[in-house]
Amino acid sequence: MARTSRVSRGVAALTLVPLLSFAAACGSDESAPSPHGLSPGEPRVPITERAIAAIMLDHLPGDTTDRAGQYITTTSPHGQIGAELRYNGGPGEDGDLVRATVTPGDPGVDCLPRWCAELETDVVGAVMQLRWDIGVPEEEPGAVGVMLQRAGEYTYVRQSGPMISGDPRELDLPVSIEEMVAVAEDAWLRLDTSTEAVRAGDALKGWNGH
């Protein structure tokens, strides 16, 4: 089934997803169809920032102006790891940001129905949400995020830079919701991933690091 269908069906379901639903829905390690896969008996290794960036670039445009690891602060969740891609940056301009993170546990935060919608996902046993913050002209552009809760960990793909004036599924974004969903659902985007994912990250060109 096309991702566009799954996302569009979510327009009619701007429903709050209680935090308890995450725990209830998780419990399977099966993943959605993607360019990558994880076999049940395959050895797994901790994912790296570079591997996350390489996974992102299998679904997102390659014309980045920066590729780097997520900037970790004292308020970042324990064990979180991520990568950041910038687009349309230049002298004095950071450009638009797309960030993907993987974090152990669950997010521990509910969201309001006005700024949150449940999306269907091809990842068996997982729950996916679309979350957004409305921007304020001349102050903050707002942001859009796709969160996928698997058993014991969650992935969050966030886009900021374009002005978010309402439901992001109704906006023309530089990176589409479908592309963000594809990143979040990728079978390699796990805390413990394939050795091939790490090798792909090691081979990634244009890495800036932090």
Report pLDDT digits (tens) over 19-62: 333 333 333 344 444 568 777 778 899 999 999 999 999 999 99
Rounded Cα gap, residues 65 and 61, in angstroms: 11
Question: What average pLDDT does range 182-193 have in this prediction?
Answer: 96
Cα 150 from Cα 126, distance rounded (Å):
5
Among 27-36, 115-124, 180-189, where is mean pLDDT lowest? 27-36
11: pLDDT strictly greater than 60: no
- Region 125-149 average pLDDT: 94
Q: Are 125 and 27 in contact (CB under 8 A)?
A: yes
- Range scoring the smallest mean pLDDT among 8-17, 95-104, 177-186, 198-207: 8-17
- Amino acid 26: pLDDT: 36
